[in-house]
């Protein structure tokens, strides 16, 4: 209370300043006073209230927090746990009693303890807020007030009351659908969801305090008769589609906010409507929504409306009939404008559709008694063209003009179509419309006139909590400084100016004068995709990794389905104490690859497990999210990111070599060492070309972004690499080795595993292997070189363990030429390389050139300063070794011995040539695995991490913040039923194994069961029960093979090869993918 007093003192100061400042900005003040009812008793009231509550100055800074939400009345129950009765249909409840029950059920639970913790944190924030206030002096307050008034003046000038915005919201949506489809629920309190969480409840249940986001078991306590029905997302989606079809007719650019609500701008529509005929404003109304199944159940306005009109019109008395028979439809709400002009009834006779519609419109059917009057001629029955059944009795209702009638008509049509009711709000902006739609809920509408007076009056006593964007916490924080209504927001504007960010301040100020967005537009593209699951306590890391992989798999499927890729991978962990942690890692390039996502996620997860050790991490939820999304087609070609060839090519010297081809003789596998050597010999001369001779822009696919400044030897090389070329000419002069990077269309994969270095490549052939710390060989062979003769045929090159090419040292000069194959310093390099060819025609299409190009470069990491052997180059990565982020790739070692290796020491640091970071690795395998992951998941870090994006910090917060994206997969948006049978069809589709909590009473002792991915190819004969690791990827079927034994792997490849051509296999895969999608 003392705090509150002090607050109020501040408020008083504010008010005083206000008085002063009003003289300062006379123009605005006048305006405000005139139009704003500044002298309105209500405003006076507020001022008085402020003053009343202000006491003599109290300045101690650690006051008791003011009681908010009346928490003190509810012993023990923190405010955030108390019932929110802000929802429609929850007025006048016995809150005390309900909260008591909630408390009884909740106390002592982990959830509750966590809520208490969070509540304390909020209280701390409030205390901080208070401390901040203490530091504000008078002149600052005055300055804040001036700033606020300037802003308000600006806003006021921009106020536009010319729009008619509608917010439509279905009533108790999920519950209403379930009640519609199961009428026995109609008179019962019911909710949709499961025992652990409810999505929503019907209005009957709301009377008991049962509401959305409440656990089912608490709902049951509040209302023992509560019926809980599982959700059925397909139905909701389908209904949503129906209502959106209708909405689109009123505003084709309407903005759906969720399955059940949307904003519409009907400004234009209303004008258009003025010219609409009675027919066009008339809709069929079924006399009864519950007709026997023997009669047509279809939406008559869809199936019959046109027909009725055309037949009526053909009778030549179209409008006259309607206007003549302007019977009021009394049962129809508000009947003031909407009129029933036509009735139709029919016996069960099965005659063809009536041809004399006009005859069915009888004048005798006057006011109020449209129904119940006698059937007309039996011969006049309509039969539905869709279901063939006879149409039930209906009337025709004509709606008037203007916003009210338009919206009424829309709601009417929605009800006719779906047998569900909607509520609507009509106002000058979205913020107000949203508030209005709740006013006459359910099944009602409310329009706020588009006048400033009406708006201000409406806003005046409106609790801020009603405004979208102000939730429980904001309410509490604001209440702590005496703000409960929108008027309070205005009065405390100076304080708000000092306490909150410009964005929030702007947001509050707009609310305070009833302003909101008037631009109803669909949200831009989605910004993230995620999946998360709650399960019974989990503490075994292996289980966690398994689950994590499944989540990643599901996520990657979703990404591919939407044809997008992401760059930032994040995980979310919720401990059994409900502590939520999120971790994220941004890759250098976009991906939708399960493995890449998983490696990143696993790295993050591992770090958390480590951080927790030796205590086990005890989880109740895990999630994976991916953001920084980009449409597939806008992402850089995968080839470039997936081959170390492509990568090094950009980072080291670049060459655009003369086009030369060579004939790849070896088909099948086991390339002989001499073959490779031969290739090198063949290519070397041809590749020695003057780099400057070929202009970077010769190839149409070269874009500026593809051009990098690449030094190879200089110390500052790494910085240089990270800088996209500013001026082509200049850089070219600076360094003759700067070349363009050609984007090519291929799909390469690289994987390094165990002590093997291996690359598997598809489409075009790129292959690379890294071995040893100080040397690397890069090969990039354009498939066209040899694909001609193998068009539509698999071309596989297999370098067996034995045939690994060894080479003493890669000279700088050697970079100019080469052929497929890879060579390394160490002779323990077991290298597998696979090349599959792309058809010649495809190649030509891709390259845009008839001439084939062979790129072959050999690089030496050491020479290129990419291996960090001294501290100098580590500077270039801008990170000290101690600050190395734990990237996904760094985690690769633990694939093999997840737990044990965590504590292994003796790490070697090397500078990864791909991600350009210092990496601590225990051994070569780790390095190789790291590079592999980098290659798969990262691309040109130079380009993406140079931070060239212009910061676009707008101080204007959206009037409706936190607006959710509507383009998401909405069927997935809710999951409140985690019973044994999840009811979201996608729930099953997305995760192949069920980690969900077991149903109560389940005897299963394990928290979950794991099943392998449905990918049967993975369950190959090669599997010998070894722990799954990053497998070899078959170049033919592209399936990862778990077995590491090269012989077995080779035989797998042989088997694959014998099955058919690559194209056939690919086709099969495509087909099966399609089939899977359909399923």
Ligand X SMILES: Nc1ccn([C@H]2C[C@H](O)[C@@H](COP(=O)(O)OP(=O)(O)OP(=O)(O)O)O2)c(=O)n1
Partner DNA sequence: GCGGATCAG
Partner DNA sequence: ATGGCTGATCCGC
Query: Which of positions 229-258 make contact with ligand X (CB under 6 A)?
Result: 258
By beta-carbon proximity to DNA, the closer residue of 405 and 996 is 996
The item of ligand X, Mg ion, DNA, none sharing an interface with residue 620, based on CB under 5 to 8 Å by kind, is DNA
The item of Mg ion, ligand X, DNA, none sharing an interface with residue 434, based on CB under 5 to 8 Å by kind, is DNA
Q: Which of 79, 106, 199, 972 binds ligand X (CB under 6 A)?
A: 199
What is each CA distance from 1018 to 457, 602, 749, 954, 1021, in whole angstroms?
67, 20, 17, 50, 9
Q: Does 169 bind Mg ion (CB under 5 A)?
A: yes
Binding mask 156-195 for ligand X (x = CB under 6 A): -------------xxxxxx---------------------
Binding mask 970-989 for ligand X (x = CB under 6 A): ----x-x-------------
The answer to whether the CB of 528 falls within 8 A of the CB of 967 is no
Closest separation in Å from C-beta 261 to ligand X: 6
Closest separation in Å from C-beta 269 to ligand X: 24
Q: How far apart are CA 325 and CA 321, in angstroms?
A: 6
Ranges within 405-434 binding DNA (CB under 7 A)? 434
Q: Does 18 bind ligand X (CB under 6 A)?
A: no
Ranges within 282-341 binding ligand X (CB under 6 A)? none
Q: Which of 6, 21, 79, 200 binds ligand X (CB under 6 A)?
A: 200
Ranges within 478-537 binding DNA (CB under 7 A)? 500-501, 503-504, 523, 526-534
Q: Does 958 bind DNA (CB under 7 A)?
A: yes
Closest separation in Å from C-beta 973 to DNA: 4
Q: Does 88 bind ligand X (CB under 6 A)?
A: yes
By beta-carbon proximity to DNA, the closer residue of 722 and 1043 is 722
Q: Does 1 bind ligand X (CB under 6 A)?
A: no
Ranges within 452-471 binding DNA (CB under 7 A)? 467-471
Q: Could you please report the per-residue DSSP string of 1002-1037?
A: ----SS------S-GGGS-TT--SPPP-S-EE-TTT
CA-nearest of 917, 934, 931, 921 to 880 is 917
SS3 733: helix
Other C-beta atoms closer than 10 Å to the C-beta of 195 total 17
Contacts of residue 883, defined as CB under 8 A and 6 or more positions apart, other chains included, come to none
H or E segment and range at residue 545: helix 541-561
Q: Does 260 bind Mg ion (CB under 5 A)?
A: yes
Closest separation in Å from C-beta 257 to ligand X: 9
Q: How far apart are CA 559 and CA 629, in angstroms?
A: 9
Q: What are φ and ψ of residue 119, in 5° steps?
A: -65, -40
By beta-carbon proximity to Mg ion, the closer residue of 260 and 699 is 260
How many residues interact with DNA (rule CB under 7 A)? 87
By beta-carbon proximity to ligand X, the closer residue of 213 and 698 is 213
By beta-carbon proximity to DNA, the closer residue of 547 and 829 is 547
The item of ligand X, DNA, Mg ion, none sharing an interface with residue 122, based on CB under 5 to 8 Å by kind, is DNA
Closest separation in Å from C-beta 169 to Mg ion: 4
Q: How far apart are CA 350 and CA 593, in angstroms?
A: 59
By beta-carbon proximity to DNA, the closer residue of 125 and 1018 is 125
CA-nearest of 464, 461, 334 to 397 is 334
The answer to whether the CB of 774 falls within 8 A of the CB of 825 is yes
By beta-carbon proximity to DNA, the closer residue of 284 and 529 is 529
Q: Which of 313, 379, 473, 869 binds DNA (CB under 7 A)?
A: 473
The item of Mg ion, ligand X, DNA, none sharing an interface with residue 1018, based on CB under 5 to 8 Å by kind, is none
How deeply is 135 buried, as exposed, middle or buried, from its count of CB atoms within 10 A (0-12, 13-18, 19+)? exposed
The item of Mg ion, DNA, ligand X, none sharing an interface with residue 174, based on CB under 5 to 8 Å by kind, is ligand X
The item of Mg ion, ligand X, DNA, none sharing an interface with residue 147, based on CB under 5 to 8 Å by kind, is none
E-assigned strand segments in 812-933: 831-835, 908-911, 918-921
CA-nearest of 408, 406, 445 to 273 is 406
β pairing state of 190-193 and 227-229: parallel
Q: Which of 142, 997, 1042, 1052 binds DNA (CB under 7 A)?
A: 997
By beta-carbon proximity to DNA, the closer residue of 222 and 666 is 222
Q: How far apart are CA 1000 and CA 578, in angstroms?
A: 20
C-alpha angle 148-153-156 in degrees, rounded to nearest 5: 120
How many residues interact with ligand X (rule CB under 6 A)? 19
Ranges within 642-701 binding Mg ion (CB under 5 A)? none
Q: Does 439 bind ligand X (CB under 6 A)?
A: no
E-assigned strand segments in 550-683: 564-575, 580-591, 619-627, 630-631
What is each CA distance from 1045 to 385, 757, 898, 927, 1039, in whole angstroms?
65, 13, 21, 21, 15
801 secondary structure, DSSP code: S
Q: Which of 442, 463, 673, 1060 binds ligand X (CB under 6 A)?
A: 442
Q: How far is CA 493 from the centre of its chain?
A: 34
Q: Where are the alpha helices (DSSP H) in 159-222?
A: 173-181, 203-206, 216-222
Ranges within 113-172 binding DNA (CB under 7 A)? 118, 121-122, 125
By beta-carbon proximity to ligand X, the closer residue of 174 and 269 is 174
The item of Mg ion, DNA, ligand X, none sharing an interface with residue 442, based on CB under 5 to 8 Å by kind, is ligand X
Closest separation in Å from C-beta 522 to Mg ion: 19
β pairing state of 528-538 and 630-631: unpaired
SS3 661: coil
Beta bridge partners of 760: 749, 834
Which H, E and C letters describe 242-259, residue by residue? HHHHHHHHHCCCCEECCC
The answer to whether the CB of 999 falls within 8 A of the CB of 980 is yes
The item of ligand X, DNA, Mg ion, none sharing an interface with residue 441, based on CB under 5 to 8 Å by kind, is ligand X
By beta-carbon proximity to ligand X, the closer residue of 361 and 972 is 972
Q: Does 342 bind ligand X (CB under 6 A)?
A: no
CA-nearest of 975, 996, 978 to 174 is 975
Q: Which residues bind ligand X (CB under 6 A)?
A: 87-88, 169-174, 199-200, 212-213, 258, 260-261, 441-442, 974, 976
Q: Which residues bind Mg ion (CB under 5 A)?
A: 169-170, 173, 260
């Amino acid at each position: 209370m003392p705090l509150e007093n002090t607050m109020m003192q501040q408020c008083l100061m504010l008010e005083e300043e206000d008085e002063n400042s009003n003289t300062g900005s006379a123009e605005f003040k006048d305006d405000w006073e005139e139009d704003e009812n500044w002298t309105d008793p209500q405003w006076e009231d507020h001022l008085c209230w402020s003053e009343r509550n202000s006491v003599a100055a109290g300045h101690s800074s650690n006051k008791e927090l003011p009681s908010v939400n009346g928490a003190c009345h509810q012993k023990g129950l923190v405010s955030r746990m108390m019932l929110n009765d802000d929802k429609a249909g929850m007025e006048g409840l016995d809150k005390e009693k309900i909260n008591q029950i909630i408390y009884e059920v909740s106390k002592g639970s982990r959830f509750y303890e966590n809520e208490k913790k969070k509540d304390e944190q909020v209280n701390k924030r409030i205390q901080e807020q208070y401390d901040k206030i203490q530091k504000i002096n008078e002149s600052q307050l005055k300055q804040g007030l001036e700033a606020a008034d300037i802003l308000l003046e600006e806003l006021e000038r921009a106020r536009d009351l010319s729009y008619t915005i509608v917010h439509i919201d279905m009533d108790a949506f999920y519950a209403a659908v379930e009640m519609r489809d199961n009428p026995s629920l109609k008179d019962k309190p019911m909710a949709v969801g499961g025992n652990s969480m409810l999505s929503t409840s019907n209005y009957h249940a709301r009377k008991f305090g049962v509401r959305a986001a409440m656990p089912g078991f608490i709902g049951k306590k509040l209302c023992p008769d509560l019926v809980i029905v599982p959700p059925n997302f397909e139905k909701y989606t389908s209904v949503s589609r129906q209502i959106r079809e209708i909405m689109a007719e009123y505003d084709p650019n309407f903005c759906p906010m969720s399955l059940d609500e949307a904003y519409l701008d009907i400004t234009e529509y209303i004008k258009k409507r003025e010219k609409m005929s009675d027919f066009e404003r008339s809709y069929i109304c079924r006399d009864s929504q519950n007709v026997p199944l023997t009669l047509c159940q279809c939406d008559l306005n869809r199936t019959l409306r046109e027909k009725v009109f055309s037949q009526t019109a053909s009778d030549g008395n179209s409008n006259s009939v309607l206007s003549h028979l302007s019977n009021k439809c009394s049962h129809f709400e508000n009947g003031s404008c909407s009129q029933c002009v036509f009735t139709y009834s029919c016996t069960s006779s099965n005659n063809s559709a009536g041809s004399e519609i006009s005859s069915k419109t009888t004048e005798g059917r006057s006011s109020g008694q449209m129904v119940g009057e006698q059937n007309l001629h039996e011969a006049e029955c309509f039969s539905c063209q869709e279901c063939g059944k006879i149409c039930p009795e209906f009337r025709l209702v004509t709606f008037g003009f203007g916003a009210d009638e338009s919206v009424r008509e829309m709601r009417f049509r929605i009800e006719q179509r779906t047998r569900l009711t909607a509520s609507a709000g009509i106002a000058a902006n979205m913020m107000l419309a949203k508030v209005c739609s709740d006013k006459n809920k359910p099944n009602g509408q409310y329009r706020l006139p588009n006048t400033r007076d009406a708006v201000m009056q409406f806003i005046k006593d409106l609790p801020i909590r009603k405004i979208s964007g102000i939730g429980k916490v904001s309410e509490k924080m604001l209440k702590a400084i005496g703000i409960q209504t929108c008027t309070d927001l205005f009065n405390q504007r100076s304080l708000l100016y000092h306490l909150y960010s410009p964005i929030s301040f702007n947001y509050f100020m707009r609310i305070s004068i009833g302003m909101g967005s008037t631009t109803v537009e669909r949200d831009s593209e989605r910004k993230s995709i995620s999946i998360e699951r709650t399960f019974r306590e989990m503490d075994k890391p292996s289980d966690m990794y398994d689950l994590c992989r499944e989540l990643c798999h599901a996520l990657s499927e979703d990404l591919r389905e939407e044809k997008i890729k992401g760059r930032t991978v994040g995980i979310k962990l919720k401990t059994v104490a409900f502590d939520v942690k999120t971790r994220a890692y941004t890759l250098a390039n976009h991906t939708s690859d399960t493995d890449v996502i998983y490696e990143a996620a696993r790295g993050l997860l591992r770090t958390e497990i480590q951080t927790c050790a030796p205590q086990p991490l005890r989880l109740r939820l895990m999630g994976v999210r991916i953001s920084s999304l980009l449409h597939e087609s806008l992402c850089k070609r995968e080839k470039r990111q997936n081959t170390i060839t492509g990568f090094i090519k950009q980072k080291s010297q670049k060459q655009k070599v003369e086009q030369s081809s060579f004939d790849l003789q070896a088909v099948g596998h086991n390339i002989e060492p001499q073959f490779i050597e031969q290739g090198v010999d063949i290519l070397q001369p041809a590749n020695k070309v003057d780099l400057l001779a070929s202009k970077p822009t010769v190839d149409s696919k070269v874009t500026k972004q593809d051009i990098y400044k690449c030094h190879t030897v200089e110390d500052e090389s790494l910085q240089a690499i990270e800088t996209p070329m500013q001026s082509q000419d200049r850089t070219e002069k600076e360094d003759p080795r700067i070349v363009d990077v050609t984007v090519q269309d291929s799909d390469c994969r690289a994987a390094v595993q165990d002590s093997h270095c291996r690359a598997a490549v598809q489409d075009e052939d790129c292959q690379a292997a890294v071995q040893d710390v100080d040397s690397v060989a890069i090969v990039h062979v354009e498939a066209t070189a040899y694909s001609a003769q193998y068009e539509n045929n698999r071309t596989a090159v297999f370098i067996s363990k034995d045939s690994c090419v060894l080479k003493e040292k890669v000279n700088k000069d050697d970079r100019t030429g080469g052929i497929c194959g890879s060579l390394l310093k160490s002779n323990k390099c077991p290298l597998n390389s696979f090349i599959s060819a792309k058809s010649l025609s495809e190649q030509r299409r891709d390259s845009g050139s008839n001439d084939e190009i062979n790129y072959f470069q050999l690089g030496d990491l050491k020479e290129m300063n990419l291996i960090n052997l001294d501290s100098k180059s580590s500077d270039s990565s801008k990170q000290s070794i101690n600050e190395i982020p734990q990237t996904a790739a760094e985690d690769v070692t633990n694939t093999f011995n997840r737990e044990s290796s965590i504590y292994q020491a003796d790490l070697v640091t090397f500078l990864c040539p791909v991600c350009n970071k210092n990496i601590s690795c225990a051994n070569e395998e780790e390095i190789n695995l790291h590079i592999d992951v980098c290659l798969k998941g990262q691309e040109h870090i130079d380009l993406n991490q140079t931070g060239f994006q212009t910061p676009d910090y707008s101080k204007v917060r959206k009037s409706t913040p936190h607006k959710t994206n509507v383009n998401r997969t909405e069927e997935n948006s809710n999951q409140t039923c985690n019973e044994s049978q999840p009811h979201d069809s996608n729930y099953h589709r997305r995760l192949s194994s069920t980690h969900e909590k077991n149903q109560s009473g389940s005897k299963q002792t394990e928290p979950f069961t794991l099943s392998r991915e449905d990918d049967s190819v993975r369950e190959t004969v090669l599997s010998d029960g070894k722990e799954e690791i990053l497998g070899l990827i078959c170049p033919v079927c592209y399936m990862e093979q778990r077995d590491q034994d090269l012989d077995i792997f080779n035989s797998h490849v042989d088997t694959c090869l014998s099955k058919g051509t690559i194209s056939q296999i690919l086709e099969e895969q495509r087909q099966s993918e399609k089939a899977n999608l359909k399923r």
